[in-house]
Structure 1
Amino acid sequence: MLHSSFFSQSCYLIFFFLITIAPLGTSCSTILSGISNDIIDQTCEKCANQSIILSYSLCSTSLQAIPVSHATNLQGLALIALELALQNATDTLSRIQVLLNSTDFDNFALACLKDCFQLYTDAAWTIAHSLGAFLSENYEITKTWTSGVMETAATCQEGFGEKKGGVSPLTKENYNLFQLCGIALCIIHMFTLAVPS
C-alpha cells in the first residue's frame, strides 16, 4: 500500500538524517554505542508521568515496533512518533471509506463518518507538513500543528456522541491518533529543552 511504502522510505530518511547530524569523523558504531538501549522506556515513562492522558503502554508498544527506534535519540523518536501518527491517519482514511460503503449505519452516523473523513484528510496533510517543519527545525510550528491534530481526533469522536446512544466506530483510531500526537508533542518538548537556544 502507498502509506506503507511511504513509511518505509521515511525510516530510511530518519536514519540518513540521524547519520548526517553526527559530527564529521564520528563512526556509525560510535553514534549507536552512545545511545541508551532503553531510551524508549525512559522516554515513554517520562511522558506518561508528565501527563495523565498519555499511555505508557501505547507509547512503548508503538515505538518498540519500529526497528530504527532502538538505535536513535529523542529527535529520531519524535520523527518516528509523527510518522506513526501519519500512518494512523492514512489507515483511518481507508477504514472510513470502507465504512461509508457499508449499509450498517443510519444517516446521522454516515454524516459523522463524512465529517471524520474530512477531518482525517486535513490531519494527514497537517502531520505531513509537521514532519517537514520538524526537519526544518521549526519546532514551535510542529507543536502547534500536532496539537491541532489531537483536536481533530477528539472532534471526530465527539461528533457521534451528539445523538443519544450514538457510538463511534472509530474510537480506537481516534484514541491512537490522539495518543501518538500527544507522545510526539511530549518527545518534541523534551528534545527542545535539551537543544541549546
Structure 2
Amino acid sequence: REREREREKMWHCSVFSISSCFLFFVFLNSSTTNALSVDLINTTCKQCADKSTILSFDFCLTSLQAIPVSHATNIQGLAIITMELALKNATNTVSSIEKMLITGAFDPFTIGCLKDCFELYADAVSMLVNSVRAFLSEHFDAANLLVTMVVEAASACEEGFMEKEGEVSPLTKENYNLFELSDVALCIINLVSSHSPSLSS
C-alpha cells in the first residue's frame, strides 16, 4: 500500500515536472518569436523609411505591429502580409465607394471622380492579388511592377479631386493608406529580391 502510494506520488511529481518544463519551453519559444518579430519589423521599417523621402516610419511600424507576431517571422512573410494589408484596404475602399455612389449625396464632379476611383481601386485589387502570386513564384520584378501600379492608382484617385479648385476628396485617408502600404510592400519586395539567390523575372 505504502509503496503504491509512493509510486503514485512520484508519478504525479514527474508529470508535473514534465508539464512545467513543456509550458516553460512554449513560453520561452513564444517570447523568442515575439522578440524576433518585433526586431524584424523595426529593422525593416527603418530600412524602408531611410530609403524613402515619403514613406512614414511610424505608419509602417503601426501597420505591421498590428499583425500576429507568428506571421512575421521572416522578411518574405512581411512582404506577403504588407501586400495583403494593401489588398484589404483596396477591397474595403471599393465597398465604401459603392456606398457613397448609392447615397447620391455628391455633386456631378465628385460622382465622376468617385466612379474613376472605383475603377482604379477595382484594378488595384486585381493587381495586388496577382502581385502576391508573382512574389510567391519569386517573380519579384513582376510583383514590383504590379505594386508600383497600385501606388499610382492611389495617387491618381486623389489627384482627380484636385482638378476642381476647392474640391475635398472623401477618400484622402484611404488613398494615403493604400499609397503607404504599397510603398512599404515595394521596399520589402526589393529587399527580398536583392538578397535572393534566385533570378527574378
My pick for the range that moved more, 99-108 or 67-76, is: 67-76
Aligned partner of residue 55 in structure 2, secondary structure = coil
How far apart are the structure 2 equivalents of 1:95 and 1:57?
Answer: 26
My pick for the range that moved more, 36-45 or 106-115, is: 36-45
Structure 1 pair 55–176 and aligned structure 2 pair: CA distance change class (3 A): same
Is there any run of 5+ residues in structure 1 with no aligned partner, and where?
Answer: 1-28
Q: Please show how residues 62-81 of structure 1 align to structure 2 within 5 Å.
A: 62-68=63-69, 71-81=72-82
Q: Which position in structure 1 is the counterpart of 2:87?
A: 86
How far apart are the structure 1 equivalents of 2:57 and 2:190?
Answer: 17
How far apart are the structure 1 equivalents of 2:145 and 2:165?
Answer: 33
Q: Which amino acid letter does the alignment assign opposite residue 108 of structure 1?
A: F
Whose radius of gyration is greater, 1 or 2? 2
Q: Which position in structure 1 is the counterpart of 2:118?
A: 117
Please say if 1:154 is aligned against 2:155: yes
Superposition RMSD in Å: 2.0
Q: How high is the TM-score relative to the length of structure 2? A: 0.79
Question: After the TM superposition, which segments of 4 or more aligned residues of structure 1 sit over 3 Å from their partners?
Answer: 31-37, 68-71
How far apart are the structure 1 equivalents of 2:112 and 2:124?
Answer: 18
Q: Deviations over 1:18-50 (max 9, x none)?
A: xxxxxxxxxxx6x95994541101110111111
Q: Please show how residues 101-116 of structure 1 align to structure 2 within 5 Å.
A: 101-116=102-117
Q: Which position in structure 1 is the counterpart of 2:130?
A: 129
Q: Which position in structure 1 is the counterpart of 2:42?
A: 41
Q: Which position in structure 2 is the counterpart of 1:192?
A: 193
Q: Report the structure, 1 or 2, having the larger helix content.
A: 2
Matched-pair contact (CA < 8 Å) for 1:48–1:54: yes
Question: 1:193 Cα deviation (Å)?
Answer: 1.4
How far apart are the structure 2 equivalents of 1:49 and 1:193?
Answer: 17
How far apart are the structure 2 equivalents of 1:161 and 1:97?
Answer: 21
Is there any run of 5+ residues in structure 2 with no aligned partner, and where?
Answer: 1-28
Q: Which position in structure 1 is the counterpart of 2:52?
A: 51
Q: Deviations over 1:130-175 (max 9, x none)?
A: 1111111110000001000100000000001111111110000001
How far apart are the structure 2 equivalents of 1:165 and 1:33?
Answer: 47
Question: 1:72 Cα deviation (Å)?
Answer: 1.3
Matched-pair contact (CA < 8 Å) for 1:75–1:191: yes
Q: Which position in structure 2 is the counterpart of 1:4?
A: none
Q: Deviations over 1:71-99 (max 9, x none)?
A: 41110000000000000000101110111
Q: Which amino acid letter does the alignment assign opposite residue 132 of structure 1?
A: R
Q: Taking every aligned residue pair, what percent have the same amino acid on both sides?
A: 54
Q: Which amino acid letter does the alignment assign opposite residue 128 of structure 2?
A: I
Q: Kindly tell me the number of residue pairs found equivalent between the two proteins.
A: 169
Q: Which position in structure 2 is the counterpart of 1:175?
A: 176
Q: Which amino acid letter does the alignment assign opposite residue 60 of structure 1?
A: L
Question: 1:104 Cα deviation (Å)?
Answer: 2.7
